Structure 1
């Protein structure tokens, strides 16, 4: 298990630099498996480095896709897989471990296409407005997967909302619930930033929506 300060969603990337001894030992053990993977949970209180943090119970498997060695660390790239709930924490020695149960995977239904399109529009709008005030990891023009199921989870992952909102997305019991929650929170976020924007230009000095002059792909 790897407690982080952010929520990992299915089909979303995560990049880590492992330098603590406990996680290097964990990595060595993981590499003995045919498919190296680890669990990611959100930290409730505490910090990522040093141990002793309190953790939320919902999490996501991270499937390792790339590794590279550096001076004193190992860089790991992974992608979110199945969701799970921690049923019991084990001894952290030699590294964090837990017993888990997997959550039922959400299913895509074509009847949700209109809701998905509305949600995407709201998320992209929120990202565009939010970028005027704080640096955003994702551009409002970021490309999503062509697979609608993957794209829905990616919308949850890129929406400019807080970690607790993200955690509530992760616990959705249906695709309709997930999309509705993301739509509502993204709309709220856009309105909140727009209200601040109307009071004056953002710190970027612009008096219009930010230019979408680069692209990314998930």
Structure 2
């Protein structure tokens, strides 16, 4: 069993997202030093479901992703500035001792087999997001850019990557982001995302109505 360095955070990170980090806590400074000695300098990131990032004693989710270090600056005294990119999804098989930092036995967790997700279905998600964003910017007296949800062609051709990119742009809470990440199949992830967009849209309408009524 190989112990994977782990970095619990108060954010649910989705594959493809950038993750800049400023490291200063001693245990995570050691994690960075150990990762930089690896052929593949990566550590797992999972959502803290209860507790804080600093000091330990947190409760952690069992689904996360690998964060690969793409650049770093060593500022001395155990302080690092990291640039990382969130990669493939992982599942924690077992949490290990936190000495000298959080570690876990993990396994890759690609999407499980499920119903196909068509470009038409993704188009419905895009339309719902555009309607949400249009409502937000129009309430502020602005206009939505035509390319607000544009993605690179290689992303558009990969439904799994496309959904993760779209999900990363929805202003939803961490619990919803975690639900998107933890959906076993791509089809289920699309449904979870659609529900999250509906929830955010309802919250936006409530806030706009409150503002208009001076509440």
Scaled by the length of structure 2, the TM-score of the pair is: 0.80
Alignment match, 1:190: 201
In structure 2, stretches of 5+ residues that fail to align are 1-5, 141-146
Unpaired runs of at least 5, structure 1: 134-139, 204-218
Q: Does 1:163 align with 2:174?
A: yes
Q: What's the offset of the Cα at 1:35? A: 1.6
Q: 1:34 to 1:193 in 2, by over 3 A?
A: same
More helix, by proportion: 2
Task: Return closer, same or farther for 1:164/1:24 CA change in 2, 3 Å cut-off.
Answer: same
When residues 88 and 34 of structure 1 are mapped into structure 2, their CA distance, relative to the original with a 3 A threshold, is same
Q: Deviations over 1:131-178 (max 9, x none)?
A: 769xxxxxx926433313322111122211111111111112222221
SS in 2 for 1:101: strand
Where 1:199 maps in the other structure, the secondary structure is: helix
Matched, 1:59 2:64: yes
Cα-Cα RMSD: 2.7
* 2:81 aligned partner: 75
Q: Give the conservation status (yes or no) of the 8 Å contact 2:116–2:187.
A: no
C-alpha separation in 2, matches of 1:48 and 1:124: 34
Q: Give 1:178's aligned residue.
A: 189
Superposed displacement of residue 101, structure 1: 1.9
Q: Aligned residue for 2:22?
A: 17
User: Which residue is equivalent to 1:39?
Assistant: 44
